[in-house]
Amino acid sequence: MERLLGTPGGSDGIEKDRLLQVLDEAVSSLTDSGITFLVMGGIASAFFGRARATSDVDLFVRPSESDRVLEILAQRGFRTEVIYEHWLSKAALDGVTVDIISRSTPDILLDDEMVRRAVTGSYEGRRLRLVPPEDLVVMKALAASEDTPRYWYDALGIIGHTDLDWDYLIHRARANGPRRILALLLYAWSNDLVVPGDPVRTLFELVTLDVPNRHRVHDPTEVSS
């Protein structure tokens, strides 16, 4: 039976069929109940970017609906638990965990614009509503840390494999973390990924706006004569 690897360094795998069954159960339960949600995490990263093993399901919901989501899943046999009231709950069924995320680092919420731009994609024969790739790039880059370096490379994978709306990505980066996204795009450049100059220039100007002239940082898009 085909298996999906768990988190790096872990010894346990998740049977693919079992993960997909739990995914189907969670998605159908919330859809039938009229809950607004989008799929994110490893499933969305694999769709937009590089092949990516995953051992759980990540759903992005509105904060106002997170309690209702847990109630609905509990009624369908999931064991539910609030981990952090302001952003994360979990629901488990047959050994598979569904992360219910209502806030992404640093303070990104599921808003109307994100819902309008959601992408309907095919994953293992299933039609899923996915977080827009531009939002996923921003969320992955901002959440990347010493403990989760794979998030950074998920973001790079999306940049390398998806035709992005750069104006929208900059709009999201401007509101949430322009320095980190500028660093990501420069790192992508250093790995020969195709990144237009305008987004890099825009972010550079934004993050250096308040830097005194005597400490002015060299614009990475300028070409020396």
Interhelix angle 149-161/41-48, rounded to 10 degrees, is 30
Same domain? For 89 and 137 the reply is: no
pLDDT, position 53:
80
Same domain? For 20 and 43 the reply is: yes
* pLDDT, tens digit (0-9, with 9 covering 90-100), for 58-76: 999 999 999 999 999 999 9
Gap between the Cα atoms of 73 and 31, Å rounded:
11
Domain boundary among 131, 166, 183: 131
Q: In the numeric block, which tokens belong to residue 67?
A: 């309690």
Q: In the numeric block, which tokens belong to residue 172?
A: 């999201």
SS3 content of the chain, % helix, strand, coil (to 5): 45, 20, 35
Domain count, the chain: 2
Domain boundary among 131, 156, 180: 131
Same domain? For 79 and 120 the reply is: yes
Same domain? For 32 and 125 the reply is: yes
Same domain? For 112 and 2 the reply is: yes
**Please, which residues bridge with residue 128 across strands?**
121
Same domain? For 221 and 188 the reply is: yes
Same domain? For 105 and 156 the reply is: no
Domain boundary among 114, 131, 148: 131
Same domain? For 86 and 143 the reply is: no
Which residues of the chain are modeled with pLDDT < 70? 1-13, 210-225
Residue 136 contacts residue 43 (beta carbons within 8 Å): no
Same domain? For 154 and 219 the reply is: yes
Residue 62 contacts residue 109 (beta carbons within 8 Å): yes
Same domain? For 143 and 125 the reply is: no
Residue 160: give the domain boundaries.
133-225
CATH number at residue 6: 3.30.460.40
pLDDT, position 11:
33
Q: In the numeric block, which tokens belong to residue 210?
A: 């308040």
pLDDT, position 219:
62
Relative to beta strand 119-123, strand 96-101 is unpaired
Same domain? For 115 and 145 the reply is: no
Same domain? For 88 and 17 the reply is: yes
